[in-house]
Structure 1
Amino acid sequence: MNKVFSHSLKGTNPDIIIKQKFDKCRPTYVNYTLNHSGRDEDISSVRNDQDILGQEIAKERGHYADYVDYGNKEYQTKLEKGVISNLTSTFTQNSFNLNHDELNELKERVNNAAHNKNIMWKTVVSLSDDFLIREKIMDNAIDRNLDQRRLKKAVQKVMPNLLKKEGLNDSAEWWGNIHLRGDENDKHVHIHLATFEEISKRQKWQSQNGYKRNQPKGVFKQKNLDSFKKEFLKESELKHSMVIEKELLIERQISERKIIDRLRQNKEKVLFKEQTNLLNAIYNVLPDNQKEWRAKSNAVTMKTANSLADKFIDNFLTADPVAMESGEKLKK
């Protein structure tokens, strides 16, 4: 199996081009799909994964700042401090972003497939800027912010059907990486997909002369790749139901923010009144001798004042959980 076989889809479509080839399974291909083997380490990015449709709807309704800063929870979770450092841009059938441990486990399985001399199917899905912008997957051709999750969902939706048609649904697994630009320019968003079998159950060639005997069948059938292209486009396209769902999500999250802000304001007013009353009470029970005005004083005359002071601190910590740890240390 020294030759590499490849082909692209029939017909012309400016929105999408799909190419596939197969050759020996190589562990190094995992790193290649991440960033072209280190030639450009920011070519794939966890950070540049944004809800383009949601942001556009929010902007049209005058809620852009509210939605982006607060409501876009689905995308913010993977960008929280301490989380993003453990995530990669690699996705699979069951994950939008593998963590480093999961990626290493994937590499080990690819390595086993290579050791077993199995083949790997390498698929590249190239998407035009016009298509991505029209379908609200990318914001514009300058900023190039991308809704990677929508593309990943589309791949996750259609890959099982492709593998089933090729008889690989019970034995193969795949991974993918979205590259924000091409090898030689700043445009050309494309998706690398790699399919392999750790233990091959792929149908073998049975030629008369024995030339290809016991070698697994390589390139996927043309009609199956054509179907994959059509299904991927259908899943990627903007749907009316998607717009309605996003509008409802934005309205719900903006309403949640208003309610939380209102409750916080009311709580702050109540807290301010309570704390003011406590301060007045502490002042009224302090002993005449100011030398006894110490938080750690064991004097009987300071017992009531210290008890009220503890309550004052507890109220503050309850209202501000972030300060709780440092506040408890101060009390000690």
Structure 2
Amino acid sequence: MATKQGKTVPSIVFILEYTLPQSGKTLTFKEYVDYMQRKEATSMESEQTDSTEIEKLNIEVTEDDYQGYLKRRELYFEGREELLKSDDVDDAFLDTIAEVVPEQTFSFKEYVEYMNRTYATKMSEDEITDERTPLFNETYNNAPKSEVQKIKGKLDQAYQNGSPMWKGVLSFDNDFLAKEGLYDKEKQTVNQELLKEAVRSAMPDILGREGIQGSAFWWGDIHHNTDNIHIHIGISEIESNRSKIFYAPRQQWEYKGHFSQKTMKAMKSKVYNQLLSADHKTRLVLEQQKIANLRTDLLSGSTQKELMEDPKHQLAQFYLQQVYNHLPENTKWRYGSNAVNMQQSKFFLKKFMENYFKNDGKDLYKQFQEANINLLKEYENAYQAVEKNRAYEKMRKVDGKEVHTTAFTKGSQLSVALEKRMKELEERIGNQILRYLRDHPPKEESNIANFSKGNQERILAVFPNAVAVHQKKSWEKQGYQIKPDAKPVPLLLNVGKDEDGMPRFEEVDYYELSQVQLVAPKKPSASQILQMDEEDIIDYIEFLKQYNPEDEGIKAELGAYKYALKLKGLEQQEKLLQQGLSNLSKVNPLASDQGFVNCKIKDFQERLTLIRLQKVPNFALNEQQIAQKHELSKKYKSVVQIPINEVTQKYLQQRLLELNQEEKLAEQVQDEGVFQLLLPSMEKNAYLEFIDLQKQILKTKARICDNNDTLKVIDDSKLRAENGRLFNELKKLYAKIEGREFEEQFQGGRFFHQEAKMSVSQSYSQKELIQSLTKKKLPTNLSTNYLRGLVLALNAGKNRNYESLMAKIRSDKHEEDEEKREERREGRSR
């Protein structure tokens, strides 16, 4: 693709227009007015307009309107009105074509007359003979005059029979032809034989696409100027096989003239590929073979034994198990299916492929993308325009009628074409995995090794090939049902200690896999679901919500994924709290700050205790642990989330006491670096404001709670009005505190600030620390020395270095404050 006058020029452009022999009735002025009246009435009837309104119509048709009609009719029979532009030409290009390819401006009759007088004079002097002409067709490169006469005779018959004639122009960028060795820039000559052969090879397919391969005849001629080589192509039929349409303005049935845009694009593609040099073709063939090989490797890799069986690929195996568990019975499995009963399996298939492309297939997938981009760029450069918003004519059918509109080019479609290829790859891998699952159903994970040696012997004595055993309740939770004739295997389980402190065992019934049958999609365990990323769990929960919430299988599965999401959030909260506790425990604070640091250490320790209790089901906790879990949950429940009816005066006073104590300790803090150990961007004033907002929300909720208690006894309109005002106030307070609450920061396992993510699994690195300290506004401007000291101390990772760090922070801060005060004094003295 070349660039000329600031525009990219495709290697090949193709335009096509058609004309018909002039026939049919030309409407008189009165007939034209009547026609327009009927047309308007028909339009209004289609819009369900009242019939009386139609009768009142008095459509004004001027003489200018009628002259416009006559002009359009004249233009039509000159072939100019029915121009089929591909999406990469503009009016300036068409003007050039009209100048260098005069045939494009002729009517059908003029074209026939032109053939006799012109073709014999267009060859160079050394080429002129009595027999040869520049015209070529499917048989001749330089048709003899006798062949030209035959074509003219066929055109005469086509004209008499009212058949269409198509006039096309292929225009080539000379730089492209030169690159492929077809054009000599110095001599300005082109290899006409290869150009003609390219057109000749393309024509059968083009005519076949339009259904006229058996009835059409065609001919061509090469034109050239200093900028471009053009090939004119004429097509017609003696007896047309095209369907007919009735065109009201001309009051006649006429043959369909338009070729489809797909045909237009196919013409460019066929000719382009024919003209490529041997080296160029070889390179493209190799590139296509490379893509095919990469696709094959990706396909085979997606079902490799290691991926399917190796324990290190548990997430991939979990996805495949879920695909299989949700597949419908007694139907063909197809990735492209839009059937409702395939959608859950498709969800997990996509997750499996995402995981595969990110991990085992990562390198192959990247190479496949790059190879496709390179190949698509080659073709895009060949015959696509990359300018956006260039106008072109577009044809479509509405209710069987052709409608012509102006459309605009979208520019480069590389990303669209690439996405299509990636989706094709996805579909092929999806179908391959479905075939694999049909032939190799996933095996139930064995749990026999989890039992004691004695219990293993009891199991294997009854089931020598045992795979997995569970209690009845456990099987049912997974979607299985015990078979009617199944006899359990009694195993000895430790159920606690007796009065003497000795282990106490009881016999518990277990069933083996062969004794159960699947009656509902198998529900995965929380530990299996936790392998998924948080966002993927959330995606699946949202996906399940589109199904019937009363469906027992959907309800159970939704509950399992919500529970896993809760555990995921608790795990992430736990890591954050552990890191925060680690940071606080390393601090050697000022005496004024010690109380606040101790307060937050206790806070974090209690929150960690709560999380550990929340991760254990209540049935596995003793009464003391359940009571502790309840108290801590109440203490650390978000002031936003706590229900109004729980904010009693007793609860309010207890929470206010705790918040006032924390506020008092926070006010005493002199080193604001302490607050930044809680959040890298935290400031003292912001922290105090946060405490105050919590108190305001609790007080507002307590007043509403008291009013509600009173309203249960008496109906007081003043109290109801006050509650309305308090609710509005509560909304405003929520807006202020949004995103600042500690509980909200952890809500649903989501991180509250980007900086907090950095501290989940490790201490701050040098880069992360500087980012966290400079990303948002801090209480003071930090000097380079300050940051350098901070980084050095943190990199050391020792408590004593951390203490040195805090001392250095305070020292540097003090020095910087003194320097600023001195500068201000000097400024005032001046």
What TM-score does the superposition give when structure 2 sets the normalisation length?
A: 0.22
How many Å apart are 1:211 and its aligned residue?
Answer: 6.6
- Structure-1 separation of matches of 2:242 and 2:104: 13
Judged with a 3 Å threshold, the aligned counterparts in structure 2 of structure 1 residues 156 and 212 are, in CA distance, closer, same or farther, namely farther
Judged with a 3 Å threshold, the aligned counterparts in structure 2 of structure 1 residues 138 and 33 are, in CA distance, closer, same or farther, namely farther
Kept in 1, the 8 Å contact 2:132–2:143? The answer is yes
Unaligned runs of 5+ in 1: 48-78, 244-332
The one of 195, 212, 217 equivalent to 2:256 is 217
The residue aligned with 2:189 is: 145
Kept in 2, the 8 Å contact 1:124–1:191? The answer is yes
Kept in 2, the 8 Å contact 1:25–1:196? The answer is no
The residue aligned with 2:111 is: 29
The residue aligned with 2:275 is: 236
SS for the counterpart of 1:153 is: helix
The residue aligned with 1:227 is: 266
Kept in 2, the 8 Å contact 1:24–1:120? The answer is no
The residue aligned with 1:5 is: 82
Judged with a 3 Å threshold, the aligned counterparts in structure 2 of structure 1 residues 111 and 23 are, in CA distance, closer, same or farther, namely farther
How many Å apart are 1:33 and its aligned residue?
Answer: 7.0
Q: Deviations over 1:180-216 (max 9, x none)?
A: 32xxxx4321000000011111111257x79776311
- Structure-2 separation of matches of 1:233 and 1:213: 39
Q: Deviations over 1:250-269 (max 9, x none)?
A: xxxxxxxxxxxxxxxxxxxx
How many Å apart are 1:223 and its aligned residue?
Answer: 1.2
Q: Deviations over 1:58-94 (max 9, x none)?
A: xxxxxxxxxxxxxxxxxxxxx6xxx844110100012
Size of the aligned set, in residue pairs, is: 198
- Structure-1 separation of matches of 2:229 and 2:155: 25
Q: Deviations over 1:271-296 (max 9, x none)?
A: xxxxxxxxxxxxxxxxxxxxxxxxxx
Kept in 1, the 8 Å contact 2:217–2:236? The answer is yes
The residue aligned with 1:197 is: 237
Kept in 2, the 8 Å contact 1:124–1:190? The answer is yes
How many Å apart are 1:108 and its aligned residue?
Answer: 1.1
Which of the two has greater helix per residue? Answer: 2
- Structure-2 separation of matches of 1:116 and 1:46: 38
The residue aligned with 2:218 is: 174
Judged with a 3 Å threshold, the aligned counterparts in structure 2 of structure 1 residues 222 and 46 are, in CA distance, closer, same or farther, namely farther
SS for the counterpart of 2:133 is: coil
- Structure-2 separation of matches of 1:147 and 1:125: 15
Which structure has the larger Rg?
A: 2
- Structure-2 separation of matches of 1:133 and 1:32: 32
Structure 2 counterpart of 1:112, which letter? Q
The residue aligned with 2:135 is: 90
Over 6 Å off, 4+ runs: 19-25, 209-212
Kept in 2, the 8 Å contact 1:162–1:224? The answer is yes
Judged with a 3 Å threshold, the aligned counterparts in structure 2 of structure 1 residues 173 and 163 are, in CA distance, closer, same or farther, namely same
Structure 1 counterpart of 2:227, which letter? K
Map 1:266-305 → 2, pairs under 5 A: none
Structure 2 counterpart of 1:5, which letter? E
Kept in 2, the 8 Å contact 1:129–1:188? The answer is yes
Q: Deviations over 1:234-255 (max 9, x none)?
A: 1111123999xxxxxxxxxxxx
Judged with a 3 Å threshold, the aligned counterparts in structure 2 of structure 1 residues 33 and 179 are, in CA distance, closer, same or farther, namely farther
Structure 1 counterpart of 2:85, which letter? S
The residue aligned with 1:69 is: none
- Larger RCO: Structure 1 or Structure 2 (Cα < 8 Å, ≥ 6 residues apart)? 1
The residue aligned with 2:173 is: 128
How many Å apart are 1:126 and its aligned residue?
Answer: 0.8
Unaligned runs of 5+ in 2: 1-19, 21-72, 283-830
Q: What is the aligned-residue RMSD (CA, Å)?
A: 3.8
How much identity, in percent, do the aligned residues show?
26
- Structure-1 separation of matches of 2:231 and 2:113: 14
Judged with a 3 Å threshold, the aligned counterparts in structure 2 of structure 1 residues 32 and 242 are, in CA distance, closer, same or farther, namely farther
Judged with a 3 Å threshold, the aligned counterparts in structure 2 of structure 1 residues 189 and 210 are, in CA distance, closer, same or farther, namely closer
- Structure-1 separation of matches of 2:254 and 2:178: 43
